[in-house]
Amino acid sequence: MAPLYLDANASEPLRPEARAAALAALELAGNPSSVHAAGRAARQLLERARDQLAARFGTGPGEVVFTSGGTEANALALHARGAGRRVLVGATEHPAVLAAAPGAATLPVLADGRLDLATLAEALRGPPALVCLMAANNETGVLHPLAEAAALCRAQGALLHVDAVQAAGRVPVSLAELGADSMAISGHKLGGPKGAGALLLRPGLALAPLIAGGGQERGRRGGTEALPAIAGMGAAAAAAEPVQALRLAGLRDAIEAGCVAQGARVAGLGAPRLGNTTLLILPGAPAETQVIALDLAGVQVSAGAACSSGKVGRSHVLAAMGEEAGGIRVSLPWNAPEDAAERFLTAWSAMRNRLSRRAPVGAM
Amino acid sequence: MRVLVAMSGGVDSSVVAALLVEQGHEVVGATLQLYDHGAAIQKKGACCAGQDIHDARRVAETLGIPHYVLDRESRFRAAVIDDFAATYARGETPIPCIRCNQTVKFQDLVELAHDLGCEALATGHYARRVEGPEGAELHRAADPLRDQSYFLFATTREQLEFCRFPLGGMPDKAAVRAVAERLGLAVAAKPDSQDICFVPEGSYDRLVAKLRPETAEPGEIVDLSGQVLGQHQGIGRFTVGQGRGLGLGGGGERLFVHAIEPGRRRIVVAPRAALVRTEAVAGEVNWLVTPPQAPRRAQVKLRGREAPRQAVVEWDAAAQVMRVTLDEPNIVAAGQACVVYDGDRVLGGGFLRAAEIDMAGAAA
């Protein structure tokens, strides 16, 4: 049987629409910046992708800056907008944000993983700030109260950058509706190819480049655009309908019910979450062992954020939520099969029973 | 059967994995991340560097087996590195490879292997596991130059049942490299590891001083009568039996470290004849046979690089210590392992205790 891929938050499988768009772009010789017909043909695909992102995420096409991915989009926002401002970041932000804002102050989260709005209001008093918050957490799927946070930021004259890498395509996210200043997205988390992302800006917001290069992206990001990945990202964004998440939420709920009945806990259970994501904590069972055991059983999940060597570190997200144990993240991809919950639970129960052989795990 | 192979990235454990694959087993590779190699870089020939993890992964890819990197930094730090420094601080001679085998390797990996539904754990150690009438026996490797049975004495009988050492019967290292070449492993010509993996060459004392600053405090070098012969720059630079680096100048009889007195920060030196003794006591004993009821003749090995010596061994069950009477006097360094052999077979072993002879007794 083919392995069961349940690690969508690491990377979504390629959507067929994205594949078709990327393949079409691969056939083009032209550079989007060239003046001739070949260049114009490439430019046409690039601008189509720009339109698709702008329409999906609530800004104008002129405010879409293509990057190499979500990490660069976040780094660009923090670098360009953070100058001369205090930077405030959520405690559960992705390492891409935390590493790009080394001097930032941290905004704590509540036990369910949501931003503590009272602390944010307190922190906003004082000199102008840039606030950086994720729309949805990559490990737990917990959604921050962004509308409320945006209102607080506006009232205090603070800029708000939203890391929407995990939320995009899974829940409705609109820069205009949120009233945020900028937003980062990643192509492969939408079901596009790896290697493209975008920083979306509020209309009229100026942006200094991290890489000046040849003046591409209206001088906001130099370097020839990765056209196949970008075309695929645009098509993926157009194809990713958040209503599809309802189907995944049903599967996710079945997984959670089955695991909780056998002694597992769900991180951030009380908070609004992405429908495709659950972080399961099985007390007494190392997350690393669980991930390996499930992989050997053909079920692919992850344990928090893994570094490039594959080493699994302690989750700063769970730590910020006051959770001592580690957990495994199950994130259903857009094309999860209908028997995903059943197959997962079969493998998970076998693993749980083997782990409880020497010491009780999941004791209530 | 499903077998977990501890893969260091070196040629030995790579060959173990390859041989088991060739024999048709379902092989799972695991590589331990033991410490931040950034702290111990720029050394040649030592194991556990970051490159070794990549080498192990490449070998696993070549063999087409799943491979996992296990984060064991905090466990290794507590069980091996801290013990290493604490042993120096007690004035004893540490033997970290045995501590590592005892904890991080055999205890933890056997447990992991069980958790993953494996039926055995295989390593690249040079030792033979022989099925005997009373269960698994530990024997010296076929190649006396490579034999590592000394470092495996602390493996419990239960662990030994579960372990496999496929290289134990190899005639020599060249034969192992030949297998690696035949199987097309990229590590076939990789140099052997030499040093203690976490200590950059020649700076044990710096690591120990960092962890245990008291070992870097200066003190006196005295002879057996207590007469001060010189000064030293910290007890962490000395081990019992050491003859170099005393800085006492030329002339007279050559002197060796006879005892280290951490409380008074004194190094006691003496001619070699005064160092050797015939009585030794070992604690933390692990028997791989039914403990002998009466004193028995055996061979004992008191350090890694020396041949076993004739002795009479007595098990003091009440005190849980092993009392050894050597036929010929020898240097006994507390902290080192005392491993008991009957011919090629390991009967058991323990860690040498500090000499019960005190200064006054020795001087008398």
At B349, which helix (H) or strand (E)? strand B345-352
Q: What is the pLDDT of residues A328-341, one digit of tens each?
A: 999 999 999 999 99
Does B97 participate in catalysis according to the annotation? no
Q: Name the most confidently modeled range: A89-103, B2-16, B205-219, B252-266.
A: B2-16
pLDDT band at B45 (very low <50, low <70, confident <90, very high): very low
From chain A, the residues in CB contact with B57 under 8 A are: 310
DSSP state, residue A219: H
CA dihedral A92→A94→A96→A98, nearest 10 degrees, is 10
Query: Are B89 and B172 in a shared domain?
Result: yes
User: In Å, what is the CA distance from A68 to each residue of A56, A57, A211?
Assistant: 19, 18, 11
Q: The CATH number of the domain where B329 resides is what?
A: 2.40.30.10
Note the pLDDT of residue B358: 43
Mean pLDDT of B216-236: 92
The tokens describing B87, both together, are: 């042993």
Query: Are B57 and B147 in a shared domain?
Result: yes
pLDDT at B207 over 90: no
Residue B111 is assigned to a structural domain of this protein: yes
B319 touches chain A (CB under 8 A): no
Point out which residues pair with A107 in neighbouring strands: A90
Instruction: Note which residues in 91-120 of chain B have CB less than 8 A from chain A.
Output: 111-112, 114-117
- Substitution target from A282, A290, A294, A296 for chain B, most B beta carbons within 10 A: A296
Query: Are B229 and B165 in a shared domain?
Result: no
Residue B211 is assigned to a structural domain of this protein: no
Higher pLDDT, A320 or B43: A320
Residue B265 is assigned to a structural domain of this protein: yes
Query: Are B28 and B157 in a shared domain?
Result: yes
CB neighbour burial string for A269-286, b if at least 16 within 10 angstroms, e if fewer: eebebbbbbbbbbbeebb
A306 touches chain B (CB under 8 A): no
The tokens describing A70, both together, are: 């979500």
Count CB atoms within 10 A of the CB of residue B208: 26
Residue B210 is assigned to a structural domain of this protein: no
**Residues annotated in a binding site of B for ATP:** 6-13, 32, 124
Contact B140, B307 (CB under 8 A): no
The tokens describing B305, both together, are: 């690089």
pLDDT at B361 over 50: no
pLDDT at A76 over 70: yes
Q: Which of these three, B274, B290, B312, is where a domain ends?
A: B274
SS3 content of chain B, % helix, strand, coil (to 5): 30, 30, 40
Q: Name the most confidently modeled range: A202-206, B46-50, B141-145, B301-305.
A: B141-145
Query: Are B120 and B231 in a shared domain?
Result: no
Residue B197 is assigned to a structural domain of this protein: no
Residue B245 is assigned to a structural domain of this protein: yes
Query: Are B269 and B284 in a shared domain?
Result: no
Of A129, A145, A126, residue with least CA distance to A137: A145
Beta strands in B233-344 (DSSP E): 255-261, 266-271, 277-287, 296-301, 309-316, 321-330, 337-342
pLDDT at A307 over 60: no
Token pair 């804002």 is found at A101
Between β-strands B2-6 and B266-271, what pairing exists: parallel, antiparallel or unpaired? unpaired
The tokens describing B80, both together, are: 């091996």
A295 touches chain B (CB under 8 A): yes
pLDDT band at A96 (very low <50, low <70, confident <90, very high): confident
Residue B139 is assigned to a structural domain of this protein: yes
From chain B, the residues in CB contact with A309 under 8 A are: 33, 50, 53, 69
Give Cβ neighbours of residue B251 (< 8 Å, ≥ 6 apart): none
When the pLDDT of each residue in chain A is averaged and rounded to a whole number, the result is 92
Q: Please name the amino acid found at residue B47.
A: C
CATH 3.90.1150.10 spans which residues of chain A?
4-12+242-355
Q: What is the pLDDT of residues B315-347, one digit of tens each?
A: 999 999 999 999 999 999 999 999 999 999 999
Structural domain including B223 reads 217-274
Mean pLDDT of A331-358: 94
If 0-12 CB within 10 Å is exposed, 13-18 middle and 19+ buried, where does residue A12 land? buried
Note the pLDDT of residue A241: 86
Q: How many helices (H) and strands (E) does chain A have?
A: 13, 12
Q: How close does chain A come to B33, measured CA to CA in Å?
A: 8
- State the fold for domain A16-239: Aspartate Aminotransferase; domain 2 (3.40.640)
Query: Are B77 and B20 in a shared domain?
Result: yes
Query: Are B30 and B114 in a shared domain?
Result: yes
Tell me which of 2.60.120.430, 3.30.70.270, 3.40.50.720, 3.90.1150.10 is the CATH number of domain A4-12+242-355.
3.90.1150.10
Task: Give the Cα separation of B310 and B301 in Å (integer).
Answer: 9
Q: What is the pLDDT of residues A148-193, one digit of tens each?
A: 999 999 999 999 999 999 999 999 999 999 999 999 999 999 999 9
Q: What is the pLDDT of residues A204-236, one digit of tens each?
A: 888 999 998 888 999 999 999 999 999 999 999
pLDDT at A81 over 50: yes
ipTM score here? 0.86
DSSP 3-state of B33: strand
pLDDT at B359 over 60: no
Query: Are B237 and B167 in a shared domain?
Result: no
Inter-helix orientation angle A146-155/A117-124, to 10° = 20
pLDDT band at B250 (very low <50, low <70, confident <90, very high): low
- Substitution target from A289, A294, A300 for chain B, most B beta carbons within 10 A: A289
CB pairs under 8 A between A and B: 39
Mean pLDDT of B128-155: 95
Decide if A311 and B69 are in contact by the 8 Å CB cutoff. yes
List the single range of B36-50, B62-76, B125-139, B249-263 with lowest mean pLDDT. Answer: B36-50
Of A182, A275, A198, A274, residue with least CA distance to A232: A198
pLDDT at B46 over 80: no
Could you give the residue numbers annotated as active site of A? 307
Q: The CATH number of the domain where B233 resides is what?
A: 2.30.30
Note the pLDDT of residue B189: 86
Mean pLDDT of B147-172: 96
pLDDT band at B363 (very low <50, low <70, confident <90, very high): very low
pLDDT at B162 over 50: yes
The tokens describing B193, both together, are: 């590891």
From chain A, the residues in CB contact with B28 under 8 A are: 292, 296
Q: How close does chain B come to A311, measured CA to CA in Å?
A: 5
Decide if B117 and A293 are in contact by the 8 Å CB cutoff. yes
Mean pLDDT of A304-315: 58
Residue B196 is assigned to a structural domain of this protein: no
Give Cβ neighbours of residue A103 (< 8 Å, ≥ 6 apart): A87
DSSP state, residue A183: E
Query: Are B119 and B8 in a shared domain?
Result: yes
Decide if B115 and A355 are in contact by the 8 Å CB cutoff. yes
Query: Are B137 and B54 in a shared domain?
Result: yes
Q: What is the 3-state secondary structure (H, E, C) of A268-327?
A: CCCCCECCCEEEEECCCCCHHHHHHHHHHCCEECECCCECCCCCECCCHHHHHCCCCCCC
Report the domain count for chain B: 3
Query: Are B270 and B280 in a shared domain?
Result: no
Residue of B nearest to A285 (CA): B115
Point out which residues pair with B361 in neighbouring strands: none
At B6, which helix (H) or strand (E)? strand B2-6
From chain A, the residues in CB contact with B114 under 8 A are: 354, 357-358
CB neighbour burial string for A337-360, b if at least 16 within 10 angstroms, e if fewer: eeebbebbbebbeebbebbbeeee
Q: The CATH number of the domain where B96 resides is what?
A: 3.40.50.620
Note the pLDDT of residue B357: 46
**Cα three-residue angle A149-A151-A154, rounded to 5 degrees:** 110
Note the pLDDT of residue B360: 40
Task: Give the Cα separation of A18 and A187 in Å (integer).
Answer: 10
Does B163 participate in catalysis according to the annotation? no
Sequence-separated contacts (24+) of A338-344 with Cβ below 8 Å: A338/A251, A340/A4, A340/A6, A340/A251, A340/A255, A341/A251, A341/A252, A341/A254, A341/A255, A341/A258, A342/A254, A343/A4, A343/A299, A344/A4, A344/A6, A344/A255, A344/A299
Q: What is the pLDDT of residues A1-23, one digit of tens each?
A: 899 999 999 999 999 999 999 99
